[in-house]
Structures are given as structure tokens and as C-alpha cells.
Chain A
């Protein structure tokens, strides 16, 4: 298990390093950016910019300096918001993004797995069909269509929740979290249903039934682990989906999270901020991937003994 952990962590670090390097050089090469030399700006501004980003130094030195900064959570000053550093902006946005992101992940996993298992155990029941329908809708209708419609219905017409913002306590959370969770609920419930049906056909589940330990125990103690493993493997991609979704959701619901900053930064060509957020997202994604692998190793002895 220890060896398995070490190997996974080393893998993650390697990917993280590659991500950092790639982001840095892509940004330096981007045309029309603050780092490109053919931009027409006044000499004083240029001198300021060059000093702020150490552009007068060789590229490798700049790179090493940037890496050292990142390791200390220092991404340099923002290009657009002159008074703030990128780190300030990230720290300001993080609570909002983490709150809706983690809630959405929790809601999606719990609901998705529950619906999937119930659907598999009561195949072709009303519940199974309605879950299937929700899954198709959730997968096919993009959240930037679903979220505005939810706003119109639940906020404008029914007035249950605010249209956007962060001023109504838990009520401001409901619509963004549900909108963010929905596509993942759809996907996870379908994934769980299929793997549960397959697991119930496994020989070892038949062995468990032959032991006469009761249907509840057969499902809980024997079928569940196998059925849940594909869902655990999906946790990495699900994190990516939630990060992506949060970009739209924060824009639609006017939440000052990181995703919203990312869109603004991309539109304003605020390169240091874009780099900072990309690296942060990459870090979150890699962390969750490692977490998912560890969870998989914990559930499946064959993975950790590999």
C-alpha cells in the first residue's frame, strides 16, 4: 500500500511539473500577450512590465523564478487588477468555488449512486425509467441552457430562490449547486446502474447468495464494492466536469468565484491570472485523481498489490 501511495504521488508530481512548464511556455509564446515583444506600448510601461515579470532576464531564469514563486503560492501581480496579486484574487474566489463545487460533488455522488443502485435492483420499474429519463436529459441538455431555465422558473416565477448573488445564505446556494450537480447525477446514476447489474451477475455474488446470508447482506457486503469501483474511477473526470461547470455556473449566477475570474481573465488577456488559475485547476484535478486512485486501492486489494 505504501509503495502504491508513493508511486501515485510521484506520478502526480510529474504531471504537475509538466503542466506548470507547459502553461508557462504557452503563455510566453502567445501572440499579442503582455509577454510578446512586438506589442506597441510606451517605453515606460514596457520597462515596468519587464521589471514586474523579469522579462529582461533569459527565459530559463524567468521560468525558474516563476516555478519558485508558484511553490510559495506567488503568481505575481495581476495584469488587469493592478492593485492585486494573482494569489489575492485566487484566495478571494476560492471559498465561493469550493463551496458550490464540493456541495455539487457530494450531491451528485450520493444521489447518482443511490438512484443507480435502486434502478439496478428494481430494473424496469417506474423509478428505473424515471432515473433513466433524467439521465438522458442531464447528459444531453447543457447546463448553460438548464441553469437559465431554472432561474426563470424557480427564481423569477416562483421566487423560491434568488436569481443570483451570495446574499441569501443557503438559498443562494441551491440553484447553482443543483445545476452543477445535475449532469453528474445523470452520468453517475447511469454508470452505477450498469456496473451494479453487471456485478450482480458475478460468480462471487452467486457464492454469497449460496451462503444464505440474505439479500440485503449480499448486496451490501458483496455486490456494492464491485459496483462502486467504476464510480470511484470516474471521480477524476467528475472533478474536471465540475470545474468546467463552475465556470459557467459562476457566470450565470453572478458568483465571484474563480471560474468567473477565469473567464474575465481570458477575455481581458490577463495572462498572469489565467496562468495562476490554470495551475490551480490542474492542481485540484491531479489531487482528486490521486485521491480517487487511493480510494480505489483501498477498496480493491488487487490495485494496491499491483
Chain B
């Protein structure tokens, strides 16, 4: 019991848990594959003498040909498919990781404050979350994307605005139980302000949970982005994203499935990897599974 009431030491605890994560082969393989895809998306396009938006009307609808410069061929504007897919990945991945990070930070702060301060503030704050939860998630994103006027920034804001809810709820529950612990009591008696306690004690102690759920946020954001781009509401032509490339590929799929398959495979692979990594992190971090 004495041990349980000591404040957790995030650093040593974290390194222990990452050690456990490293033993998960599937998760580690996913990290390798994901790293490869990320590097390819961000650096790959520079290897080619054209960009994904350069139309080459002498090379329209080329097929897969690994000996030519257009490895996976071109679309009906003569744009290189591989380069477009990599550039699309750059957009999707950026929105994915950045969105998860921002949504995570907002959620953690909101949840920590609501859970720690408690009382009337908490009731108001949790009510707000409940109401936002009543909207079907994608509907809310579409509404907000409309409200923010369309475009990548609007899309990003809309996704962040809807996805901070889950981390907020989870962190709130943790903060509530932490607020009753003795070391918080001690910090309060020692004259720390609420803000100091939240920043130095509450937030670091919810870190394990946040890492687990944060890792689940990334695929969710990527999925939403490509979902909306697929519907034509998110990233728009001529800029590429995996969502609108899949939508474009669908138009020609009955004759030429290549335009659908390459971006779809990339998206599915990334989602697989992110899910396996999230699973691995949960196994290594989940406090219920010690």
C-alpha cells in the first residue's frame, strides 16, 4: 500500500513499458514499415524530375512499367501515380499526426482540469462533452468543415474539434481518482497552486493512458481525413490525398484497378501498422493489465 500511494515516476516507468513494447514483434515490424512509408512520402517525391501535379499529356494513362520513369503509370492527365500517392500520403500523414497531437493536448488539458477541479465546473464541462457526443462524429466534422469554409485548414480544425472528446473523458476519470490520492493532498498542503498541481502531477501521471489512446487517435484522424476527401469535402483536387485518389481510382476501377489499388494499399497498410502499434502500446501500458 505504501508503494501504491507514492507518485508514479513517469520516466523510469515509461522506459520500462517501452521495453515491453519492443518485445512485441508485430508492433515493432509495424514501426519499421510505418517509418519506411513516412520517409518515402516525405522524401520519395524529390527523386523524380516532376511533381504530382505536373501533367504530361504525352504520357496519359500509362500502365505499370518498372523500367520507365513512371513506375506505377500515370492517370488520365498524365500525372505520375506513385508520386501523387506519395504526395497524398504527405498530406494524410501530416494531418493525421498533427491532428492527433493537437486533439490529444486539448483533450488532456480539458479532462485534467475538469477531473481535478471537480464540482460545478466539472458538471458543466462534462455536459458539453455529452452534447458534442450526441452528434454522429462525421456529421459534426462535415458541419464544422462547412462552418470553417472548406479547405485543408478547415478540415484539420473540424477533425481536431471532434476528436478531443475521448481523451478528455478518459483523462478526466483518471484525474478524478488522482485528485483523491495522498501525494496530491500533500502537494496541496505544501502550498502548490491548482495550476502547478495539474501541470506537474496530474498530467504526467495520466501519460500512460494518453499514449495508449493517443496512438488510437492517429489512425482515426487519418481515416476521417481520407473519408472526407473521398466524399469531396476534404482535400480537393488538384492537391492529392489518399482519400481523393481512392475516389478518383474508383471511377476507372472496372477497366483499370491500378489507380484504386495503389493509394488504397498505402492507406490500408498505414492503418494496419498504426492499429498494431496501438495494440502493442496498450498491452505494454494498460494499467488494468499489469
Q: Which residues of A contact B (CB under 8 A)?
A: 15-16, 18-19, 22-23, 26, 29-33, 136, 139-142, 144-145, 148-149, 151-152, 156, 163, 240, 243-244, 247-248, 251-252, 262-263, 266-267, 269, 274, 277-278, 281-282, 285-286, 289
Contact = CB atoms under 8 A, between A and B. Distances in A.
Given A145-B268, A148-B253, A266-B142, A282 B232 contact: no
Contacts of B135: 19, 278, 281-282, 285
Interface residues of B, number: 37
Contacts of A248: 227, 230-231
A83 B14 CA distance: 62
B139 A278 contact: yes
A144 B146 contact: no
Contacts of A31: 147, 149
Given A18-B131, A23-B143, A145 B267 contact: yes
A140 B272 contact: yes
Contact of B226 (A142, A247, A286): A142
Interface string B187-230: 00000000000000000000000000000000100010011001
B8 interface: no
B69 interface: no
Given A163-B254, A282-B134, 8 more contacts: A26-B143, A30-B146, A145-B268, A148-B253, A247-B138, A248-B230, A266-B145, A266-B146
B136 A240 contact: yes
Nearest to B231: A263
Query: Interface residues of B: mostly helix, strand, loop or mixed?
Result: helix
B252 to A, nearest CB: 11
A140 B260 CA distance: 17
Choose among B136, B142, B232 the residue with the greatest number of A CB atoms under 10 Å from its CB: B136
A15 B205 CA distance: 33
Choose among B139, B260, B275 the residue with the greatest number of A CB atoms under 10 Å from its CB: B139
A144 B244 CA distance: 11
B55 interface: no
A32 B149 contact: yes
Contacts, number: 110
Contacts of B254: 152, 156, 163
A31 B151 CA distance: 13
B257 interface: yes
B250 A148 contact: yes
B137 interface: yes
B105 interface: no
B268 A141 contact: yes
B130 interface: yes
Query: Interface residues of A: mostly helix, strand, loop or mixed?
Result: helix
B227 A142 contact: yes
Contacts of A19: 131, 134-135
Contacts of A266: 142, 145-146, 233
Contacts of A240: 136-137
B40 interface: no
B274 to A, nearest CB: 8
A276 to B, nearest CB: 12
Contacts of A269: 146
Interface in B53-104: none
B34 interface: no
A274 B146 contact: yes
A219 B223 CA distance: 38
Can you list the 9 inter-chain pairs with the closest CB atoms, starting with the nearest? Answer: A244-B138, A145-B264, A18-B131, A140-B271, A240-B136, A15-B134, A140-B272, A144-B230, A156-B254
A152 B227 contact: no
A267 B143 contact: no
Given A18-B131, A243-B136, A141 B260 contact: no
Given A30-B146, A141-B271, A145-B267, A244 B231 contact: no
A199 to B, nearest CB: 16
Contact of B233 (A139, A263, A282): A263
Interface string B248-264: 01100110010010001
Contacts of A152: 253-254, 257, 260
Interface in B139-160: 139, 142-143, 145-147, 149
Contacts of A286: 134
Contact of A29 (B130, B142, B147, B267): B147
A286 to B, nearest CB: 6
A239 to B, nearest CB: 8
A244 B138 CA distance: 6
A18 B219 CA distance: 30
